Amino acid sequence: MKDDPKIITVKALSRSFGTLKAVDSISFDVKEGEIFGLLGPNGAGKTTTIKMLTTLLKPSSGTASVAGFDISKEQNSIRKSIGIVFQDPSLDEELTGRENLEFHAILYNIGKEERAKRIGEVLKLIELEDKADILVKNYSGGMKRRLEIGRGLIHEPKVLFLDEPTLGLDAQTRRHIWDYIRKLNELKNVTVILTTHYIEEADYLAGRVAFIDHGRIVALGTPIALKNKMGGDVVSVRTINSADALEMYLKALKWVKATARHDEYLDLTVEEGEKKIPDIVKLAEKHKIAVESISLHKPSLEDVFIHYTGKGIREEAAEGWKGRMRAVHMRR
């Protein structure tokens, strides 16, 4: 067997809806057994990518294979090899947790004895053994999500696709779900493809991350490597209507490695940021620029996204929502 065998290969994959290019010629590989994250704001193309890889959408162009099967020619083989947890809830709430798992296993033609064995294993893995015979409508949001993940594992897939698996959950429950995802990855060696717009989720779970924005992959690598590319600390400066001028003056300094504007903030990438803060303040005072606040932190994946796109993921998400609302009003 080759080192780091690729279980997913994507080459120049695109998908258009009329004149809108939702996914624009993306390429990446996923190694067997890794957790791979697609990180970006809502509307960036993450879910469309997942739908193509899971054969729910046909690509407009490009190629991809999952578990060795072509997404355009071998859809049935792919569907037998993957599990999917959709962004929207898809459990039958009038059934118990056990009955939901049973129904899913029957769809995959798993025999009665093997079915009972796998259901028991999955319930233990997702820690719902004591809640298995309770109607799902009485489950908490976190329990439902765990059950959906367990259902996606019942037929022992090679690849598990999780589309925004913690969307709408509180911070504590979200962290518990992250731990379950890590545990199943380690115990089952199942490859996990995760889409998310939560920076912390991608940082905590993914061995590698692809940043996707407006349908294109703008950066790809391990979270550590992506952060290290920033080349130092990040100093965020908020001014009163003078960020453009301050950026112009700071760009001329050799020790400023990069600048990025987002919202009302100017982000600077510098080494030994704590020593540079007094210099930044002096420069602002010299040019009569009022500094409202200044802060220092180590680079995060949010900083990496800002570096490549000029905007934060939360800003992109807000703009995407506004754009969708404008489209709704135009249709009216």
- Tens-place pLDDT, residues 205-247: 999 999 999 999 999 999 999 988 888 889 999 988 788 889 9
CATH topology of domain 6-226: Rossmann fold (3.40.50)
Q: Are 195 and 45 in contact (CB under 8 A)?
A: no
What is the structure's pLDDT at 329? Answer: 41
Q: What value does the mean pLDDT take over residues 43-61?
A: 95
Report d(CA 104, CA 145) in Å as an integer: 15
Q: Are 299 and 233 in contact (CB under 8 A)?
A: yes
pLDDT at 151 over 80: yes
Q: What are phi and psi of 234, to 5 degrees?
A: -115, 120
pLDDT at 331 over 50: no
User: 187 CB contacts (<8 Å, ≥6 apart)?
Assistant: 125
What is the structure's pLDDT at 311? Answer: 75
Listed by start position, the domains of the chain span 6-226, 231-298
Summarize pLDDT for 176-206 with one digit per residue, the tens. Answer: 889 889 988 988 889 999 999 999 999 999 9
In sign, the C-alpha dihedral spanning 133, 136, 137, 138 is positive
pLDDT at 116 over 90: yes
What is the structure's pLDDT at 316? Answer: 53
Q: If one looks up domain 231-298 in CATH, what number appears?
A: 3.30.70.920
Number of CB atoms found within 10 A of residue 131's CB: 19
Summarize pLDDT for 254-287 with one digit per residue, the tens. Answer: 999 888 887 778 999 998 889 999 999 999 999 9
Summarize pLDDT for 281-329 with one digit per residue, the tens. Answer: 999 999 999 899 999 988 889 888 988 887 777 555 544 434 433 443 4
Summarize pLDDT for 53-79 with one digit per residue, the tens. Answer: 999 999 999 999 999 999 999 999 999
Q: Determine the distance from the C-alpha atom of residue 172 to the mean position of all C-alpha atoms in its chain, rounded to a whole number.
A: 18
Report d(CA 257, CA 232) in Å as an integer: 8
What is the structure's pLDDT at 3? Answer: 56
Q: What is the pTM of this model?
A: 0.80
pLDDT at 125 over 70: yes
Summarize pLDDT for 236-245 with one digit per residue, the tens. Answer: 999 887 888 8
What is the structure's pLDDT at 87? Answer: 84
